[in-house]
Amino acid sequence: MTKKLFISLFVSCVLILLSIGIVLLSAFGVPTKVQSYEDMKNAQFGFPISFIKQDLIKSGITGYEGGFPDRFEMQTDFLDNDITMDFSMMNFIFSTVIVFGMVLLLYILLRKFGSKLWYG
């Protein structure tokens, strides 16, 4: 019984860390769609619920003359610019719980039907 409990705890920890990684990657690695200069002042990052808001103009995108809509990544040049962003811990936790639920469901489905998928 102790070995099963240890394996369950280990799998749970791995799935939680994977969920946190996916949520952080969604904010720092995936560009967000901006429709206007007003949206540039309040760009939102994160998936499935946005948990970081950033003023892209104050954070280093100056003189943008391209058309809209356009996609921008979060500005993280902390050495040259004063980065302004708001972080919502509650939205981050909700996003992590949602992604954890999806990852857990995928894990359960693969455990139940995975051998049938690979071996016929």
Q: How far, in Å, CA of 117 to CA of 54, rounded?
A: 43
User: With a cut of 50, which residues of the chain have pLDDT below it?
Assistant: none
Give the tens place of pLDDT for each residue, 6-18: 988 999 999 999 9
Amino acid at site 69: P
Tell me, what's the pLDDT at 29?
A: 87
Global pTM value = 0.82
Kindly give, in sequence order, each residue whose CB lies less than 8 Å from that of residue 94, ignoring residues fewer than 6 positions away: 49
| Backbone torsions φ then ψ of 36, nearest 5 degrees | -160, 175
